[in-house]
Amino acid sequence: MMHTLEASAPPVAAVPPVAGELKQRILIVDDDPNIVQVIEQALTFKGYSTCSTTDGEEAFRIFREEGEFDVVLTDLVLPGISGIELLEKFKELDPTCEVLVLTGFGSNEKAVEALKKGAYDYLKKPTNIDELFIAVSKAIEKKKLSLENIAYQMDLERVIEERSSELLRTQKFLHSVLESSTEYFIIASDAEGLITLFNSGAERLFGYKRTEVQGHRAILFLAQSEAGNAAGMQDFLKSGVIDQAHTVVTRDGREITISLTVTPIQDESARSVGYIWIGKDITEQLALQAQLKEYAQNLEKLVAERTREIQERNRRLEDTLTQLNDTQMQLLQSEKMASIGQLAAGVAHEINNPIGFINSNLSTLKKYIINLKDYCRAVDRVVQSDDADSIEELIRLKKIKKVDFILDDVTSVIEESIEGTDRVKTIVQDLKDFSHQDRGTLNEYDLNKGIRSTLNIVWNELKYKAEVIQDLGDLPLVRCYPQQLNQVLMNLLVNASHAIADKGKIYVRSRARDDEVVIEIEDTGCGIPAENLAKIFEPFFTTKEVGKGTGLGLSLSYRIVERHGGRIEVDSRVDVGTTFRVILPADGPPAAAAEWVPALAEEA
Ligand SMILES: Nc1ncnc2c1ncn2[C@@H]1O[C@H](COP(=O)(O)OP(=O)(O)OP(=O)(O)O)[C@@H](O)[C@H]1O
Ligand SMILES: [Mg+2]
């Protein structure tokens, strides 16, 4: 149902009041107090907060001083001030305030003008109450939207301001990055290669001011300026310029070499919209590199020369070492020969004995043969004469010539001689073995056999000085260089004999113990004083008179045993005697020591 507000009509309570909302303020201006009253009543009833006046000037004052009216309802015809004028003033004071104008009959033009000046709507008098409510609530809605819009706009402005200052900061930062790069030049160009940015590094390097190059082709600075024109530039950019060295000419005509990386700048659709040209002057760097290369080449040459020199020296050193080894080998050999020399007399005596009786046996045999020959001739004669006297003569002759004895003895004389020659053979063999240069290899050797044959060699040296008591246990075969160990045994046996002044005893023992073989040579000689014990293994240490000892025996023995992976122990008491103990691993020298042994074998 539609209600019409007449100046005299009572307020209508048909439309329910606005409840629960914050009261909107409405200013009502009309020169007719009845209309003001009716509208005010209706709107108050509807829940709005109202304020009213019949005077235009007063209305403006209220609006200005009390302010914050959501809607103003104003008549267009007022005394003193026109409604349009008032509308303008309201709008000026508060552009968000919505103004509804009340127009009388025939004032359409004014209503249109009011709308142009910013009025929200107009209501014709007499005003329909429902239309009034609708217009007011719409105006309020509009005001709300305006306020929201303003808030949104303000928000937007704030965001824009924030973004702008952020952008400004980024820009400043980028600028400072661009400008702080003193070593690198940074140039930006558009897709055509026309310069849009030219940092101070570029200014410094190329000698151009940014204002001079702005809009020119970046490529202009490259000496290879076949790309100086637009087409050339496209080709250049298409080639994907990355990390290349270019020769460029600076403004003052200097040729420099730069490194250059050109990176395309792409928009969202991956279209190249420009390029960033970054690089630096590498002229010095290249010169340094070239210098360095030259140095390196020189160094290589120098190293090669030095290496050759060192190799030559090494070769000479090796030669010297070989010579030294030879000399040492000769020394050792001569030392050994010297020991042999000392023993030669004794050996000669040993040989002399069997040779003596072989010689006498041969004389005996010669006589035997003469007798046998005489007897055989007599037998021939008797056989031919067939004479009885002759037979008797034969029997007598057989007696005289001791034919029976000769026939009896001849076998044993020959056997004895054979034994004699055998002994000579053994001695000569032992001697030969002993003096033989040992370039041998590792052998499985029965050390008891070594002890026996060494005793044979030195026998003449020992037999007048000492009773030799052998106590040889069961030994496993030992991997060793037999000749070298025999030499050790000979040294120890001769030392033992030398230590005995008159007559004494030498015990020679051999035992197998765990994985080792132990050979002990004990004498009842003079013993070694404590102060000498530490020195006896030193080369050339001897207490013997000149010509009798070289002082090499024990040092050589020590080295030989050490390189067999074994050791020599010595217990000694002055005036009581000395025991030397040679302890050898039954398995032979360990790998590391074995490596040395052939060298030693060469020396020995
Ligand atoms: N069994 C021993 N009893 C006492 N002293 C010894 C014995 N063995 C060695 N010595 C002492 O050790 C010294 C060194 O012995 P080594 O065998 O090295 O040399 P050398 O016998 O003097 O001379 P050579 O070179 O002829 O062997 C001897 O001179 C001696 O004083
Ligand atoms: Mg000696």
Q: Which ligand is nearest to the CA of 571?
A: 1
Distance between Cα 492 and ligand 2 center (Å): 7
Distance between Cα 530 and ligand 2 center (Å): 18
Which residues have C-beta within 8 Å of that of residue 36, sequence separation ≥ 6? 28, 29, 30, 52, 53, 54
Half-sphere exposure of 127 (CA within 13 A, CB side): 29
Evaluate if residue 425 carries a pLDDT over 70.
yes
**Torsion 186-189-193-194 (CA) sign:** negative
- 61 shares its domain with 87: yes
- 120 shares its domain with 214: no
CA dist 329 and 601 (Å) reads: 9
Give residue 381's pLDDT.
Answer: 78
Q: Ligand 1 pocket: which of 495, 523, 558, 561 to mutate (most atoms <8 Å of CB)? A: 495
Closest ligand 1 atom to the C-alpha of 542?
29
Alpha helices, DSSP H only, in 469-537?
482-499, 530-533
Atom 7 (ligand 1) nearest CA: 495
Distance between Cα 447 and ligand 2 center (Å): 20
CA dist 521 and 469 (Å) reads: 10
Within-domain flag for 274: yes
Do the Cβ atoms of 494 and 461 come closer than 8 Å? yes
Quote the number of domains for the chain. 4
- 37 shares its domain with 103: yes
How is residue 22 annotated by DSSP? P
Q: Which ligand is nearest to the CA of 500?
A: 1
CA dist 249 and 63 (Å) reads: 76
Between β-strands 504-513 and 478-480, what pairing exists: parallel, antiparallel or unpaired? unpaired
Radius of gyration of the chain (CA): 69
Smallest CA-to-CA distance from 561 within 591, 533, 593, 539 is with: 593
State pLDDT tens for residues 375-424: 888 787 777 777 777 778 888 888 888 888 888 888 888 888 888 888 78
Percent of the chain's residues with pLDDT above 90: 23
| CATH code for position 531 | 3.30.565.10
Atom 9 (ligand 1) nearest CA: 495
Distance between Cα 546 and ligand 1 center (Å): 13
Within-domain flag for 416: yes
Half-sphere exposure of 201 (CA within 13 A, CB side): 20
- 277 shares its domain with 292: no
**SS3 at position 545:** coil
Do the Cβ atoms of 119 and 101 come closer than 8 Å? yes
Atom 10 (ligand 1) nearest CA: 495
Evaluate if residue 3 carries a pLDDT over 70.
no
Within-domain flag for 408: yes
CA dist 165 and 188 (Å) reads: 24
Strand partners, 570: 580
Distance between Cα 25 and ligand 1 center (Å): 137
148 to each of 18, 134, 161, how far by Cα in Å? Answer: 21, 21, 19
The kind and range of the H/E element at 195 are strand 195-198
- 202 shares its domain with 140: no
Region label for 222, one of left (φ > 0), alpha (ψ between -120 and 50) or beta (otherwise): beta
Q: Whole-angstrom distance between the N-terminal and C-terminal Cα of the chain?
A: 144
State pLDDT tens for residues 138-169: 998 888 888 888 889 899 999 999 998 998 99
CA dist 576 and 580 (Å) reads: 14
Query: pLDDT-derived band of residue 448, with 50, 70 and 90 as boundaries?
Result: very high
What type of residue is 86? L
Compute the average pLDDT of residues 182-209: 86
State pLDDT tens for residues 512-560: 999 999 999 999 999 999 999 999 998 889 999 877 787 888 988 998 8
CA dist 213 and 230 (Å) reads: 16
Distance between Cα 342 and ligand 1 center (Å): 15
| CATH code for position 194 | 3.30.450.20
Distance between Cα 574 and ligand 2 center (Å): 17
Within-domain flag for 7: no
Within-domain flag for 391: yes
Within-domain flag for 175: no
How is residue 405 written in tokens? Answer: 């004895």
Evaluate if residue 577 carries a pLDDT over 90.
yes
Distance between Cα 96 and ligand 1 center (Å): 131
Distance between Cα 537 and ligand 1 center (Å): 9
Distance between Cα 499 and ligand 1 center (Å): 8
Where is the domain boundary, 371, 402, 430? Answer: 430
Evaluate if residue 596 carries a pLDDT over 50.
no
State pLDDT tens for residues 214-254: 887 765 555 444 445 556 566 666 666 666 677 888 888 88
Give residue 592's pLDDT.
Answer: 53
Distance between Cα 554 and ligand 1 center (Å): 7
Q: What is the mean pLDDT of the chain?
A: 82
Structural domain of 275: 181-281
Which residues have C-beta within 8 Å of that of residue 440, sequence separation ≥ 6? 481, 482, 483, 601
Of the two residues 124 and 473, the one the predictor is more confident about is: 473
Do the Cβ atoms of 446 and 584 come closer than 8 Å? no
Where is the domain boundary, 410, 430, 450? Answer: 430
Closest ligand 1 atom to the C-alpha of 556?
18
Q: Which ligand is nearest to the CA of 342?
A: 1
Q: Ligand 1 pocket: which of 487, 508, 536, 560 to mutate (most atoms <8 Å of CB)? A: 536
- 413 shares its domain with 443: no
Compute the average pLDDT of residues 17-34: 74
Where is the domain boundary, 256, 281, 306? Answer: 281
Q: Ligand 1 pocket: which of 537, 542, 557 to mutate (most atoms <8 Å of CB)? A: 542
Query: pLDDT-derived band of residue 505, with 50, 70 and 90 as boundaries?
Result: very high
Query: pLDDT-derived band of residue 602, with 50, 70 and 90 as boundaries?
Result: very low
What type of residue is 590? P
Do the Cβ atoms of 497 and 553 come closer than 8 Å? no
Q: Which ligand is nearest to the CA of 556?
A: 1
Q: Which ligand is nearest to the CA of 580?
A: 1
CA dist 4 and 13 (Å) reads: 13
Within-domain flag for 19: no
- 359 shares its domain with 426: yes
Evaluate if residue 5 carries a pLDDT over 80.
no
- 302 shares its domain with 405: yes
Do the Cβ atoms of 565 and 589 come closer than 8 Å? yes
| CATH code for position 33 | 3.40.50.2300
Q: Give the Cβ contact number of residue 485 at 10 Å.
A: 24
CA dist 483 and 434 (Å) reads: 7
Q: Which residues line ligand 1 (CB under 6 A)?
A: 491, 495-496, 499, 523, 525-528, 536, 541-544, 549-555, 578
CA dist 489 and 308 (Å) reads: 48
Atom 31 (ligand 1) nearest CA: 543
Compute the average pLDDT of residues 314-326: 84
- 137 shares its domain with 219: no
Tell me the DSSP string of 565-589: T-EEEEEEETTTEEEEEEEEETT-S
Q: Ligand 1 pocket: which of 544, 545, 568 to mutate (most atoms <8 Å of CB)? A: 544
- 277 shares its domain with 295: no
CA dist 214 and 209 (Å) reads: 9
Give the largest Cα separation in the chain, rounded. Answer: 223
CA torsion angle 342 344 349 354 (round to 10): 150
Atom 29 (ligand 1) nearest CA: 542
Give residue 8's pLDDT.
Answer: 39
- 473 shares its domain with 418: no
Within-domain flag for 500: yes
- 559 shares its domain with 444: yes
Give residue 335's pLDDT.
Answer: 61
Closest ligand 1 atom to the C-alpha of 338?
26
